[in-house]
Amino acid sequence: MTVAFSPMFTLDVALTPRLYSLYAHPDSVVVVIDILRATTAICTAFENGVEKMIPVATLEEAWAYREKGYLLGAERNGEKIEGADFGNSPYDYMGDHLKGKTTVITTTNGTRAIEMSKDSHQVIIGSFVNIDVVVNHLIQSKRNVVLLCAGWKEKFNLEDTMFAGALVDRLAEHEQFADVSDAALIARYLYANAMEDPYHFLKNSSHRKRMQKLNLKEDIRYSLNPERSEIIPVLKNGALVQLSR
């Protein structure tokens, strides 16, 4: 009798961008995670009809696009850049004003993480708002997975690792991801402590405190509320588009 074995795939978490080079592989699917708020804002933009978003790492690149007439979302240190059309709030991307349009976006952490992972097999955008479809896509992809936490200025942060843990928690239930790395286990254990009330869990985190000082409490709540979207933004030819499924 022939015994059929299910293929196994690695499930890794880069806890900070500086660790990503240890996991980078051209055959992997990378999930970029910047929960507060870039990846949440990007998912919200697509849910509200944006056709394409061009992520750039630097303000110089962003202004070059702005001069060509592109609408620009730009943020540094949690605040909207003066002269930009939008900041980094998911609420900036709600409504019909961007439907069918191409925009440019640059943020302190998230767009830098997108840039550094662009040479992988596929880069997708993950957030609590689209967590279900992201999990299903990763299971169906049949590839190694790297969860890239954008962190804060190359450093570890609590919220991105917590969300990575939420993904690990769901993916590890499937046989193909049964063998997870220690970093993935750390993220999963963190999420186990946060899952009942993520908002409360993050009350002492540095970025939540930073955002509260900027009066962004509603952005935090929105970003931690799951399952609002069925769309996965994917990087293709240097721009984010909606993944065809």
CATH code assigned at 168 = 3.90.1560.10
240 domain residue, yes or no: no
* Among the listed residues 100, 108, 36, 56, the one whose alpha carbon sits nearest the alpha carbon of residue 235: 56
Question: Which residues does 67 contact at the CB level (< 8 Å), separation at least 6?
Answer: none
Q: What is the mean pLDDT of residues 90-102?
A: 96
The answer to whether position 120 is within a domain reads yes
SS3 state of residue 70: coil
Starting at the edge strand that comes first in sequence, how are the strands of the sheet with 11-14 ordered?
11-14, 145-149, 29-33, 122-126, 233-236, 239-242, 52-55, 102-106, 71-76, 79-80
1, with CB counted inside 10 A (0-12, 13-18, 19+), is exposed
Please provide the distance, in angstroms rounded to a whole number, between the alpha carbons at the two ends of the chain. 37
**What residue numbers bound the domain in which 222 lies?**
11-230
Task: Give the model's confidence band at 5: pLDDT under 50 very low, under 70 low, under 90 confident, else very high.
Answer: low
The whole-model pTM stands at 0.95
**For residues 53 and 72, what is the distance between their CA atoms, to the nearest angstrom?**
10
- pLDDT at 95 exceeding the cut of 90: yes
Is 3 a residue whose pLDDT tops 70? no
Distances (CA, A) of 168 to 8, 143, 209: 15, 15, 26
Number of domains comprising the chain = 1
Residue 39 located in a structural domain:
yes
Helix (H) or strand (E) holding 126: strand 122-126
Mean pLDDT of 206-216: 87
Instruction: Let me know: does 220 contact 36? Beta carbons within 8 Å.
Output: yes
Is 36 a residue whose pLDDT tops 70?
A: yes
> Confidence class of residue 137 from pLDDT cuts 50, 70 and 90?
very high
**What backbone phi and psi angles, to 5 degrees, belong to 110?**
-65, -45
Give a yes or no: residue 124 inside a domain: yes
Considering the domain boundaries, does residue 159 fall inside one?
yes
Please check the confidence at residue 1 and state whether its pLDDT lies above 60: no
Domain contains 192: yes
How many other β-carbons are positioned within 10 Å of the β-carbon of residue 209?
A: 11
pLDDT digits (tens, 9 = 90+) for 103-130: 999 999 999 999 999 999 999 999 999 9
Q: Is 218 within the bounds of a domain?
A: yes
Residue 165 belongs to some domain of the structure: yes
DSSP 176: G
pLDDT at 74 over 80: yes
pLDDT above 50 for 152 = yes
